[in-house]
Structure 1
Amino acid sequence: MNKDEIGGNWKQFKGTVKEKWGKLTDDDMTVIEGKRDQLVGKIQERYGYEKDKAEEEVVDWETRNKYRW
C-alpha cells in the first residue's frame, strides 16, 4: 500500500473514527492524519485512558472496520 492509498483510506474512515471517539476534534483529526500512534495518543489525551486501554480500543475499531494502516 502506497502513501496515496493510505491517505485515501484514512479519508474514508475519518467519519467512523469521529463516530467512535466523538471527543476528537477536527484539529485532532488533522494531527492524526492516518498515523496510528497519533490516534492512540489523542484517545489517551481526550478520554484520560491509559495507553493499554486506548490501544485496545483502536485494535477493536480496526477489527470492526477492517482498517489497514
Structure 2
Amino acid sequence: MNRDTLKGQWMQLKGKVRTQWGKLTDDDVEQAQGNVEMLIGKIQERYGHSREEAERELDRWLEQQRMTQAS
C-alpha cells in the first residue's frame, strides 16, 4: 500500500490509524481525511517527532497494511 492508496481507502483505514497512533484525537483523524501531509503533521504534533520520523513511521505502517492485505 502506498500513500496514494491511503486516501482511497480512508474509510476502511481510519480506525487502524487511531489504533496505531493512539495519541491522535478523533478530530485529528477526521481532519486528515486521508491527506498524507496532514496526517504526517498530526503525528508530528502529537508525538513530537521530526517530519522525517513521522514520514518513516507512516511509510512503515502503510507497508505493514499492504503486507496484511496481500496475505
TM-score, normalised relative to structure 2: 0.80
SS class of match (2:16): helix
* Identity percentage of aligned residues: 44
Count matched residues: 63
Partner of 1:17 in structure 2? 17
> Is the partner of 2:49 in helix, strand or coil?
coil
Which consecutive unaligned segments of at least 5 residues does structure 1 have? none
TM-score between the two structures when normalised by the length of structure 1: 0.82
Q: Give runs of aligned pairs for residues 1-69 of structure 1, distance below 5 A.
A: 9-66=9-66
Alpha-carbon separation, structure 2, partners of 1:45 and 1:29: 13
The one of the two structures with greater contact order (alpha-carbon pairs below 8 A, sep at least 6) is: 2
Task: Give 4+ residue runs of structure 1 displaced > 6 Å after superposition.
Answer: none
Kindly report the root-mean-square deviation, in angstroms, between the aligned alpha carbons of the 2 structures. Answer: 2.0
Show structure 2 runs of 5+ residues with no match. none
